[in-house]
Amino acid sequence: VNNIVLVGFMGSGKTTVGERLAERMGRRFIDLDQEIARDAGRSIAEIFAQEGETGFRERETRGLEQVLKEDGAVIAAGGGAPLRDSNWRDIRERGCVVALTAEPAELARRLNGSHGRPLLRPDPRSAIGSLLPSRMSRYLEADLVVPTDGKAPAQVAAEIESQLPAASIERIPVAVPGAAHDAVVGTRLSGLVASHLRRLNPSGPALIVSDAVVAASHAAALTDAIEAIGLAVRLHLVPAGEAAKELAVLAGIYDSLGSAGVDRDGALLALGGGTVGDVAGFAAATWLRGIRYVQMPTTLLAMVDSSIGGKTAINLAAGKNLAGAVHQPTAVFCDLNYLATLPDDDYQASLAEVIKTALIADAAFVAWLATNLPPLLRREPGVLRDAVSRSIAIKADIVTRDPQERGERALLNYGHTVGHALERAAGFGALRHGVAVAWGMEVAARISVLTGACAPEVVARQSSLLRAAGLLTAAPSVDRADLLRAMRHDKKSRSGQLRWVLLRDAGRAVYGQQVEPAVVDAALSEVLGI
Ligand SMILES: NC(=O)c1ccc[n+]([C@@H]2O[C@H](COP(=O)([O-])OP(=O)(O)OC[C@H]3O[C@@H](n4cnc5c(N)ncnc54)[C@H](O)[C@@H]3O)[C@@H](O)[C@H]2O)c1
Ligand SMILES: [Zn+2]
């Protein structure tokens, strides 16, 4: 959904700025109050006089519903419209929300002598004093907050356009108890990130943690956007790839947090793939026992998987991800433009996680993938946006029901028992994670059929999806004994017993399943030829 909805106090300039913004962007402009008046055949003042504020608010909610049905419009919502929670939900669901603000004195000056605004009685100054504080907290929840003091409407419109995403955004709630936040999927999201950061109101400079590869292409636009709204920011680079998740690298981030003076009200941004997200997230989880942080994933894997759910970790000599914490970000921003610079092999391998997500939880998504994999492979923007959004929504739901991984969250490990073991047995780095997971899914699916949990046709559908994504090309050559040893090593095994995630149907899986070793053996030899 692609509407731009302007909110703000009376006198903040919603209508004048909205008209100019619509003109600049070649979009239709709609003024909610004008629509309400036209629909009622009376002025707003008359509606207030005859029906009271209650009557007006009812009309406002109905009018809002109507105008939000538009797609691609610039809409000026009335100053009070965002206050009703259901209105606010609708506005956020159907568009990108821009709040215009101005100092009370400036508002009073602009509103002086204005007629036809019933809420300004007895006079603008006292109305501003009584209404503005409570409304302001709602306005500040907008995606973009743009101060208008001392600026001409055309200038405000230009600023808004420069900070808006390039196209429509998807907003996916991650409703984890006590740490609910949104994942936003779209393109050119730096302006939104900057506004989010301002809302966090960090006490000092925000620290961006990134790696040199990612930072070379993507850090400048982000720091520019943050500095453009008057916030201070520092960049801390970590090594690219798995080398980022080392204790010494974590210590380096602590040093930067310390020298930047980041205190308990500070904030950190993780800009990178899963490795950056994991180490930066762990730094945020532990610095002063936890500060706020934002995930800005730049790989497909990080967008659909690692940035969602709050798991953070570093590697130790004894194994991967051994020291970690669950610490939810305040927001996740998935800027799909970042994926343009991602190498094909990385992108393709991560499609295994997308297919996995569909298979464990969403039959409709499985069907959608069956027709949309070719354009997804070509990274067609709309298809990519839908695939990322749907994957995030599924993971977010599972994580919301089981934030601490006590049960259901294990479903996300479908294909990972054998996948992780293949990575380990082949020597870390030899096999891409997604490639290994794809083979792991094939083994798990085969076990599902052998144990009667699922029909063979389901496995065929899975295989054809994975093949369409360019996966399952050459079976990895690993030694069977090494693989079995690596599987026993899997930290998900409970008291030495391996537990499996098995498929029941395309879109449904079960976790915590015990499987006879003979069945595992049969599946391994059928799928991997070992
Ligand atoms: N926390 C979780 O829940 C969770 C879940 C799954 C995986 N993980 C972790 O995620 C890590 C893997 O993440 P990954 O696959 O994103 O790898 P990664 O972070 O190592 O990134 C892969 C490579 O791509 C480069 N890169 C990143 N974004 C790029 C871009 N937009 N353009 C060009 N190059 C880019 C990086 O510099 C790196 O060299 C593993 O350490 C894994 O343990 C964590
Ligand atoms: Zn994975």
Report the separation in Å between the CA atom of 44 and the middle of ligand 1, taken as the mean of its atom positions: 54
What was the pLDDT predicted at 269?
98
Is 14 an annotated catalytic residue?
Answer: no
> One of 87, 337, 372, 413 is an active-site residue; which one?
413
Q: Is 420 a catalytic residue?
A: yes
pLDDT tens-digit series, residues 325-347: 999 999 999 999 999 999 999 99
Question: Could you tell me if 83 and 135 are in contact, meaning their C-beta atoms sit under 8 angstroms apart?
Answer: yes
Sheet of strand 267-272, all strands in order from the earlier edge strand to the far edge:
170-174, 181-186, 331-335, 292-297, 267-272, 206-211, 233-238
How many Cβ atoms sit within 10 Å of the Cβ of residue 51? 15
Determine if ligand 1 sits within 6 Å of the CB of residue 35: no
Taking a C-beta distance cutoff of 8 angstroms, is the pair 483, 475 a contact?
A: no
Q: What ligand has the least distance to the C-alpha of 321?
A: 1
416 given a catalytic annotation: yes
Give the predicted TM-score (pTM) of the model. Answer: 0.96
Q: If you search the block for the tokens 């994957």, which residue do you land on?
A: 391
> Which pLDDT does position 330 carry in this prediction?
98
Check if 419 has its Cβ closer than 6 Å to any atom of ligand 1. Answer: no
Q: Outline where DSSP puts E strands in 29-162.
A: 29-31, 74-76, 95-101, 144-147
63 or 119, greater pLDDT = 63
Let me know how long the chain is.
530
The two structure tokens encoding residue 112: 């002086």
pLDDT score of 361 more than 60:
yes
> What is the average pLDDT across 41-49?
95
- Partners of 251 in the β-ladder: none
Catalytic residue, from 60, 170, 353, 442: name it.
353
Please check whether residue 434 is in contact with residue 301, taking contact to mean a CB–CB distance below 8 angstroms. Answer: yes
- The pLDDT of residue 116 is 77
Rg (CA), the chain: 26
Read off φ and ψ for residue 295, nearest 5 degrees: -95, 125
For residue 491, pLDDT over 60 is answered with no
Stretch 94-110: mean pLDDT, rounded?
95
- Evaluate: CB of 309 within 6 angstroms of ligand 1: yes
CB 449 within 8 A of CB 499: no
The rounded distance, in Å, linking the Cα atoms of 51 and 62 is 15
Condensed to tens digits (0 to 9), the pLDDT of residues 159-202 reads 999 999 998 899 999 999 999 999 999 999 999 999 999 999 99
Q: Which atom of ligand 1 is nearest to the CA of 349?
A: 15
Report the pLDDT value the prediction gives residue 497, as an integer from 0 to 100.
82
Residue 31 has pLDDT above 60, yes or no: yes
pLDDT, tens only, 264-314: 999 999 999 999 999 999 999 999 999 999 999 999 999 999 999 999 999
Tell me, using a 6 A CB cutoff, whether residue 341 lines ligand 1.
yes
How far, in Å, is the centroid of ligand 2 from the Cα of 120?
57
Q: Is the pLDDT of residue 490 over 90?
A: no
Measured from the CA of 350, which atom of ligand 1 is nearest?
15
**Cα–Cα nearest to 5, from 102, 139, 95:** 95
pLDDT at residue 1, rounded to an integer: 63
pLDDT at 495 over 80: no
User: What mean pLDDT comes out for the span 73-78?
Assistant: 96
Q: Is the CB of 135 under 6 A from ligand 1?
A: no
Q: How far apart are CA 261 and CA 110, in angstroms?
A: 40
Residue 480 tokens read as 């069977």
pLDDT for 13 beyond 70:
yes
CA 160 to centroid of ligand 2, rounded, Å: 38
DSSP H or E segment with residue 52: helix 44-67
For ligand 1, whether the C-beta of 276 sits within 6 Å is yes
How far, rounded to the nearest angstrom, does the alpha carbon of residue 529 sit from its chain's CA centroid?
39
Catalytic member of 245, 416, 432, 446: 416
Q: Can 413 be counted among the known catalytic residues?
A: yes
For residue 115, what pLDDT is reported? 76
**Ligand 1 atom at minimal distance to the Cα of residue 434:** 15
Nearest to 196 by CA among 72, 271, 292: 292
Q: What is the pLDDT of residues 468-480, one digit of tens each?
A: 999 999 999 999 9
What burial letters (b/e) apply to 270-298, b meaning 16+ CB within 10 Å?
A: bbbbbbbbbbbbbbbbbbeeebbbbbbbb
Higher pLDDT, 393 or 122: 393
The Å distance, Cα 220 to ligand 2 centre, comes to 30
| Average predicted confidence (pLDDT) for the chain | 95
In the reported structure, the alpha carbon of residue 306 is separated from the centroid of ligand 1 by a whole-number distance in angstroms of: 8
Determine whether the shortest distance from the Cβ of 246 to ligand 1 is under 6 A: no
* 310 ligand 1 Cβ < 6 A: no
For residue 321 and ligand 1, the question of a CB distance below 6 A is answered with yes
- CB 435 less than 6 A from any atom of ligand 1: no
User: Is the CB of residue 80 below 6 angstroms from any atom belonging to ligand 1?
Assistant: no
- Catalytic residue (one of 14, 420, 432, 461): 420
Q: Are 269 and 298 in contact (CB under 8 A)?
A: no
Give pLDDT tens digits for 434-478.
Answer: 999 999 999 999 999 999 989 999 999 999 999 999 999 999 999
**Residue-level pLDDT at 272:** 98
pLDDT at residue 317 greater than cutoff 80: yes
Q: Which ligand lies nearest the alpha carbon of 413?
A: 2
**Cβ-contact 132, 104 below 8 angstroms:** yes
Report the separation in Å between the CA atom of 341 and the middle of ligand 2, taken as the mean of its atom positions.
Answer: 21
How far away, in angstroms, is 353 Cα from ligand 2 center?
Answer: 6
Q: Locate 125 and state its tokens.
A: 């100054």
Note whether 30 and 53 are within 8 A (CB).
Answer: no
Minimum CA distance residue for ligand 1 atom 2: 306
Contact 527, 432 (CB under 8 A): no
The neighbour count for residue 216, using CB atoms within 10 Å, is 12
What is the structure's pLDDT at 493? Answer: 52
258 — pLDDT class (breaks 50, 70, 90)? very high
- Inter-helix orientation angle 433-450/344-361, to 10°: 30
Mutate to test the pocket of ligand 1, among 210, 299, 395, 414 (most ligand atoms within 8 A of CB): 299
Question: Taking a C-beta distance cutoff of 8 angstroms, is the pair 394, 363 a contact?
Answer: no
- Is the CB–ligand 1 distance for residue 245 below 6 Å? yes
**409 carries an active-site annotation:** yes
